[in-house]
Amino acid sequence: MRILLTNDDGIHAPGLAALAEAASGLGEVWVVAPVAERSGVSHALSLAHPVRLEEIRPRWYACDGTPGDSTYMALHYLKVAPDLVLSGLNPGPNLAHDLLYSGTVAAAVEASHWGVPAMALSHASARRDLLPEAGRRLRAVLDRLWPLALAHRLALNVNLPAVDRGEWRGLRVTRAGLRWYSTEVYERKDPRGRPYLWVGGQDVSMPPLEGSDCDAVRDGWVSVTPIGDDLTRHDQVPLLAAALVAGAGSVLGAGT
């Protein structure tokens, strides 16, 4: 099996080293990852800037674009042709609405978009010193999940409970839950005296939601959520269509 690793924390991130260690027994490992941290850039693709790739050691490439660029270049330029893409291991969870912002998740979804099974992998602690232990425990999780990801062509968002909270209870299949960061914005002055702003958002509220990723990780389970790239609200399609038909005369008639 050929496995492509990527992340949004940069090619020198300890989480990527931990993931490479965890994946080393599964097959031939390739790495294409951003040269520096690009957390929170979501699914951005570089369309107005050049993207440079540098092979820093055999099968390890630093990409000066986004996580999405990294997956894209691995698939469509380097032609790695992986059987599986693993993105992470992110220091900090990617739960609920985090999926909309996460570069870790986007790199996996980009692979899935091109038909390659993928997993986004996050550890629910910001402590980088815990990543090696999380990576050691991740091996058993990967062993359980990769055959299913390949068999069913899945993209999975996997969140690991913080290892300093004890043993993991097992795997739970979940849906994205509810999660809001606080909305403070810090105003500071740069060294030249000009003001700048920094997104704060230190506090997180996670209302309980049955079957959610947030609840699973909070309760010590490894959360596994099947994800995809379809943002359509399917339940709203017939309702909106019916509403447009009902109001067609007045809506379309007004301006024409």
Q: In the complex, what is the shortest distance from the CB of residue 43 to Mn ion, in angstroms, rounded to a whole number? A: 14
Shortest distance (Å) from residue 129 CB to Mn ion: 16
Cα separation, 70 vs 67, whole angstroms? 5
Q: CB of 13: closest distance to Mn ion in angstroms?
A: 8
As given in the structure block, the two tokens for residue 37 are: 């941290």
User: Smallest distance from the beta carbon of 134 to Mn ion, in angstroms?
Assistant: 14
Our CB check for Mn ion shows the closer of 10 and 27 to be 10
| Closest distance of CB 34 from Mn ion, Å | 10
Residue nearest to Mn ion (CB): 39
Pick 15 or 140: Cβ nearer Mn ion:
15
DSSP for 185-230, written as a single string: EEEEE-TTS-EEEEE----EE----TTBHHHHHHTTPEEEEEE-S-
Q: Which is nearer to Mn ion, 39 or 159 (CB)?
A: 39
How far apart CA 210 and CA 22 sit, in angstroms, is: 31
> Among 31, 42, 112, 131, which Cα is nearest to 73's?
31
Minimum CB–partner distance for residue 39 and Mn ion (Å):
3
SS3 168: coil
CA angle (144 as vertex; 139, 149 as ends), nearest 5: 110
Place of tokens 């209302």: 207
| Choice between 45 and 230, CB closer to Mn ion | 45
Question: Which residues have CB under 8 Å from 209's CB, separation 6+?
Answer: 177, 178, 215
Least separation, in Å, of the C-beta of 128 and Mn ion? 11
5 versus 27: smaller Cβ distance to Mn ion: 5
Strand positions, DSSP E, 42-128: 53-57, 60-63, 84-91, 118-123
Q: What is the dihedral of CA 217, 173, 210, 219, to 10 degrees?
A: -20
Closer Cβ to Mn ion, 104 or 212, answer by number? 104
Identify which of residues 94 and 112 has a Cβ nearer to Mn ion in the complex.
Answer: 94
Residues that bind Mn ion (CB under 5 A): 8-9, 39, 90
